[in-house]
Chains A and B, each alone.
Chain A
Amino acid sequence: MKEISKSLISPLIFGIALILQILWRSVPHSYVDLFNFLSVAVILLALRHGEGAGAIGGSVAGLIQDSLTLHLFGLAGLTKTCLGFAVGLAYRKLNLASFINQLLFIFAAGSLELFLWAGLANLIFAFHPPLESGTFWLQPLGTTLLSGFLFRLVKS
């Protein structure tokens, strides 16, 4: 029973992330870019189950995000796949026992994903992410705080 409930945590996290992402973006507002709940779900999945699950989760989450945008389909899928794989691999290889180290690591991974997405969008695919928006650049911080807190919660 305990095993079943344990294995249900990840799909549950994914479902909740999707619901939060939809509700958060259901009405346009100034802070809409502050959180990317799908990135949070990918990070949690990768931290819990490793790089393989992180990459698959990243693909699915990214494609969901892509389906809700006007631009090219597959861009967020690509960057979130990289995010899931990198977080899962690095977490397994690095010593991230302390909470601060975990937060710093998630912040670095979240920033990398955002830069990769914005960079590809801007330089290769020639559409412009909202770079002037202050909250856009705060997204790694929002993702870090939320992911770190939730990971601690799930772990305990």
Chain B
Amino acid sequence: MALPSKEKRNFYLFLILVLAHLILLSIQVPLNQDNPLIKQAFLAIVTPVQAGLSWLWQGMESLWTDYIFLRRVRSENQRLEAENLLLRQENLILRQVLEKLEKEAEIKERLSQLASPVVVASVIGSDAGNIFQSLILNRGSQHGIKADMMVLDPEGNLVGRVIGPVLRWSCRVQLITDENSGTAVITSNRAVSGVLRGDGRGRCYLDYVLVTSPEVSPGEEVMTSGLDGLYPAGIRVGRIISVSIENAIFKKIEVEPFFQLNGLRQVAIIRFDLSRI
């Protein structure tokens, strides 16, 4: 039997590959399996390379900024010293307030719980499809990271939560700007609460706020309410930038997140369940 020509073989190969991808996609759609094993395998191969390259790149950057280009170091040092002084004062005041409220043993226990809950992680990759959906961090199950842990930016603003699969040395964060995310929030004046959903374009919307609910105005801050059981109450999320009437039932409230995705290099993963404090 004569073998098919090279052109035909290539065409059959193409059809087989397309069919394989369609099967792969169709397997995930009805069952809503976000992380098939093959995806995890690819991720497990790619993320160590990602982490290594990111480490190398950051090393080169720090070589330049820490050893060669030292122009701003003096002023930066002075600024940090001043900030450090302020933070120590603030810490002292907070401790005094806490002491007034609770017994020493309880305070020590709570502070010891807080001693190692924060894991500082570096961003080693942004989402290859839409940067407002997810980030990849260089910390994983080896560092005690689990799914649903809260992720904050260096200023303490909510960035998102860790989602599975958590690999040994890396994990993925679903950003609050992802259109499939949902965060229970409340306005700073405690008047209105709702569910914050990302739009996949860098902004968020406050859903399920009734037209009859109290007035909210642009400029008001939005923070977590703790009602979703994922995030503790009081974490800063964003600021309302516009309010309009979407339909006869709900308001359309647009929120700009506080965290800045552009240039975000480091985040804090909160390992401790803050709702217990």
Residues of A participating in the B interface, judged by any CB pair closer than 8 Å = 18-19, 21-23, 25-30, 32-33, 50-52, 55-56, 58-59, 62-78, 81-82, 85, 88-89, 121, 125, 127-130, 132-133
Q: Tell me the smallest distance from the CB of A98 to a CB of chain B, in Å.
A: 25
What separation, in Å, do the CA atoms of A55 and B127 have in the docked complex? 24
24 CB contacts below 8 A, A to B, read A18-B46, A22-B49, A25-B128, A26-B54, A27-B265, A28-B263, A29-B262, A51-B10, A52-B10, A52-B14, A56-B13, A68-B125, A68-B128, A70-B34, A70-B133, A70-B180, A73-B38, A78-B18, A78-B21, A82-B18, A85-B10, A125-B29, A130-B201, A132-B201
Contact assessment for A67 and B46 in the assembled complex, using a CB-CB cutoff below 8 Å: yes
What separation, in Å, do the CA atoms of A88 and B13 have in the docked complex? 13
Q: If the complex has contacts A26-B53, A67-B43, are A129 and B24 also in contact, measured as CB distance less than 8 A?
A: no
Q: Which of B24, B49, B123, B129 contacts A74 (CB 8 A)?
A: B24
Q: If the complex has contacts A56-B13, A74-B25, are A130 and B200 also in contact, measured as CB distance less than 8 A?
A: yes
Contact assessment for A22 and B133 in the assembled complex, using a CB-CB cutoff below 8 Å: no
Contact assessment for A128 and B130 in the assembled complex, using a CB-CB cutoff below 8 Å: yes
Q: Which of A29, A65, A78 contacts B25 (CB 8 A)?
A: A78
Within 8 A of A (CB), among B117-131: 123-131
Within 8 A of A (CB), among B147-172: 163, 172
What separation, in Å, do the CA atoms of A114 and B44 have in the docked complex? 26
**Please, which residues of chain B bring their CB within 8 A of the CB of A82?**
18
Residues of B participating in the A interface, judged by any CB pair closer than 8 Å = 6, 9-11, 13-14, 17-18, 20-22, 24-25, 28-29, 34-36, 38-39, 42-43, 46, 49-50, 53-54, 57, 123-136, 163, 172, 174, 178-180, 199-201, 261-265
Q: If the complex has contacts A29-B262, A121-B129, are A128 and B179 also in contact, measured as CB distance less than 8 A?
A: yes
Q: If the complex has contacts A67-B46, A73-B36, A130-B130, are A26 and B124 also in contact, measured as CB distance less than 8 A?
A: yes
**Please, which residues of chain A bring their CB within 8 A of the CB of B123?**
26-28
Q: Tell me the smallest distance from the CB of A130 to a CB of chain B, in Å.
A: 5
Given A26-B53, A30-B262, A51-B11; 6 other pairs, CB 8 A cutoff: A22-B46, A27-B264, A55-B14, A69-B130, A70-B172, A74-B25
**Please, which residues of chain A bring their CB within 8 A of the CB of B261?**
28
Q: Tell me the smallest distance from the CB of A74 to a CB of chain B, in Å.
A: 4
Contact assessment for B17 and A59 in the assembled complex, using a CB-CB cutoff below 8 Å: yes
What separation, in Å, do the CA atoms of A137 and B265 have in the docked complex? 26
B39's nearest neighbour on chain A, judged by CB, is A73
Q: Which of A21, A69, A77 contacts B127 (CB 8 A)?
A: A69
Contact assessment for A22 and B125 in the assembled complex, using a CB-CB cutoff below 8 Å: yes
**Please, which residues of chain B bring their CB within 8 A of the CB of A28?**
123, 126, 131, 135, 261-264
**Please, which residues of chain B bring their CB within 8 A of the CB of A55?**
10, 13-14, 17
**Please, which residues of chain A bring their CB within 8 A of the CB of B18?**
78, 81-82
**Please, which residues of chain A bring their CB within 8 A of the CB of B199?**
128
Contact assessment for B10 and A69 in the assembled complex, using a CB-CB cutoff below 8 Å: no
**Please, which residues of chain B bring their CB within 8 A of the CB of A77?**
21, 24
Contact assessment for B22 and A78 in the assembled complex, using a CB-CB cutoff below 8 Å: yes
Q: Tell me the smallest distance from the CB of A9 to a CB of chain B, in Å.
A: 20
Q: Tell me the smallest distance from the CB of B36 to a CB of chain A, in Å.
A: 6
Contact assessment for A72 and B29 in the assembled complex, using a CB-CB cutoff below 8 Å: yes
B134's nearest neighbour on chain A, judged by CB, is A70
Contact assessment for B53 and A129 in the assembled complex, using a CB-CB cutoff below 8 Å: no
Contact assessment for A81 and B14 in the assembled complex, using a CB-CB cutoff below 8 Å: yes
Contact assessment for B46 and A64 in the assembled complex, using a CB-CB cutoff below 8 Å: yes
**Please, which residues of chain B bring their CB within 8 A of the CB of A127?**
129-130, 179-180, 200
Q: If the complex has contacts A28-B261, A56-B13, are A74 and B127 also in contact, measured as CB distance less than 8 A?
A: no
Q: If the complex has contacts A27-B126, A55-B17, A59-B17, are A130 and B179 also in contact, measured as CB distance less than 8 A?
A: no
